[in-house]
Amino acid sequence: MGLYSRFIFPHLLDRILSGANFHEIRHRLLAHVEGKTLEIGFGTGLNLNHYPASVKQLTAIDVNPGMNRIALRRIAGSQINVQSSILNGLSIPFEDSTFDCVVSTWTLCSIPDVRLALQEIYRVLKPRGHFYFAEHGQSPDSVVRIWQDRLTPIQKVIGDGCHLNRPIAELIRSLGFNIKDLENFYMDNVPRIGGYLYFGSATKPS
């Protein structure tokens, strides 16, 4: 992991994802999270203030030490019991059926093997547990999609591995989740190539 990823990109991403439109989405997504919860791609901890009191314990993982340095400041001021670790989502070191809920926000775009990460999420989630997600991805608009495909190689460099064109709902379904709620929309004040959102929740069958 280079200097850009560790020291520049975390501050850049924190600024971009701190906008009011992102906070509104976080607040709505996390309102019903409860119990023992895992967040993959915790980043700089911007979700932390939006978790309800029903979250009894939050396990937060992120692969980037630079993100973690910023997140620790937010964790220090939180009322939630947070266990933070520098880990990636490709091999989650917890037993099967450990968590009531798993959360992923603006994370699945940048994990190298996204199917393996979703497989791990499925594994550690309890039967009938909920996977809450807010992820940008492939647009249904053919013109936007063409530009997403063209610009993804550049975005992967600028965005530390970020893909603009992943079909998020299709990927989630393919791993055996039942998508319970799904909203798709373009975010306000975000370019369309990076602002098409997959927002909702999925459950692991019992």
**Residues 22-63: tens digit of each pLDDT:** 999 999 999 999 999 999 999 999 999 999 999 989 999 999
Q: What is the mean pLDDT of residues 183-204?
A: 98
Angular region, 135: left φ>0, alpha ψ -120 to 50, beta rest: beta
- Work out the pLDDT band at 88, boundaries 50, 70, 90: confident
- Calpha distance 16→92 (Å, rounded): 27
Q: What is this structure's pTM?
A: 0.97
Counting the structural domains of the chain, the total is: 1
Q: Which domain holds residue 61?
A: 3-203
Contact between 111 and 91 (Cβ < 8 Å): no
- Calpha distance 27→50 (Å, rounded): 5
State which H helix or E strand residue 130 sits in.
strand 125-136
What pLDDT was estimated at residue 91? 87
- Work out the pLDDT band at 89, boundaries 50, 70, 90: confident
- Polymer length of the chain: 206
CATH number for the domain spanning 142: value is 3.40.50.150
